[in-house]
Structure formats: structure tokens, C-alpha cells
């Protein structure tokens, strides 16, 4: 008769973390690539100014006017005749009274004033104009 030997298993004292490090590095790369994309998706060349930056971040509704004549409310395209409805819906969704206007530096002055006038007619009192600092270091809002 053949006897089976009993194997003695010993506890391993070391931990192999190579797989964990691989996963963490891949996640780090994914977040580094996607973080800049989480900002506003509409690309605009903001006008430059020497205004003092506002301390708090933009928590309100953002209206973007791009160089091609497009108008976006919180990165959703809209037409001028639908602006009031889109802004009211966005203000309700964000529970805010503040509206920020981001306009490309090539946008016609009359278009920006028309948007601001419509916001005033709606009763919006907190209107901010988003600009870029003259030295180009960081974004400034005024």
C-alpha cells in the first residue's frame, strides 16, 4: 500500500503588491488625462484683463459665447430665443442665482450685451463676466 504524504503549507510572510501598483498607476494616468476635460468643454479665447480674481469658484450657471456664434448654457447648445428657458432650468437644477458669461474675445460686443440684457430682464442680479488675467497665469473672474 502506498501512503500519501501530507504536505505542510506554511504561511507566506511577504505580500506581492506588483499588481496593485500596476492598477494604481493606470488609474492615476486615467485621472490625469481626464481631469482637464472635466472643466468647461467649450473652447473659448477669453479676453485678458487686470481685474482682481474672485476668491470663490464658479458655482452658478455658465453661459458660453464661442467665436463661431454658438451659445451654450452649462455646455449645452441653445439658441438666443431659448436662452431664458435654458437659464431658468439650469438655475433651478443648480439651485443658484448667479450667472457667469464666458465670451470669446472675438465675440461681437452687441451679442454679449444682448445676452446680459436678457438676463437682466429675467431678474438675474448676480451676473459675472469671466476673463483671463493679462499675465496669463490663471483664470480670473470679474
Extents of the domains making up the chain: 40-141
pLDDT in tens, 81-121: 899 999 999 999 988 889 999 888 888 888 889 999 999 99
In this prediction, residue 118 carries a pLDDT of 92
Q: Is 65 exposed, middle or buried (0-12, 13-18, 19+ CB in 10 A)?
A: buried
pLDDT in tens, 4-52: 677 777 776 677 788 889 999 999 999 888 877 666 566 776 777 776 6
For domain 40-141, give its CATH number from 3.30.930.10, 3.30.70.20, 3.30.420.270, 3.90.1150.200. Answer: 3.30.420.270
Amino acid at each position: 500500500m502506498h501512503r500519501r504524504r501530507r504536505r505542510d503549507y506554511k504561511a507566506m510572510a511577504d505580500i506581492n503588491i506588483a499588481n496593485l501598483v500596476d492598477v494604481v498607476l493606470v488609474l492615476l494616468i486615467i485621472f490625469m488625462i481626464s481631469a482637464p476635460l472635466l472643466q468647461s468643454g467649450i473652447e473659448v479665447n477669453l479676453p485678458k484683463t487686470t481685474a482682481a480674481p474672485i476668491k470663490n469658484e464658479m458655482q452658478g450657471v455658465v453661459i458660453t459665447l464661442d467665436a463661431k456664434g454658438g451659445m451654450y448654457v452649462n455646455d449645452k447648445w441653445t439658441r438666443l430665443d431659448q436662452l431664458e428657458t435654458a437659464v431658468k432650468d439650469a438655475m433651478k437644477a443648480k439651485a443658484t442665482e448667479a450667472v457667469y458669461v464666458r465670451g470669446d474675445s472675438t465675440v461681437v460686443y452687441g451679442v454679449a450685451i444682448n445676452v446680459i440684457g436678457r438676463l437682466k430682464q429675467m431678474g438675474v442680479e448676480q451676473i459675472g463676466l469671466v476673463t483671463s488675467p493679462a499675465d496669463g497665469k490663471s483664470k480670473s473672474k470679474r
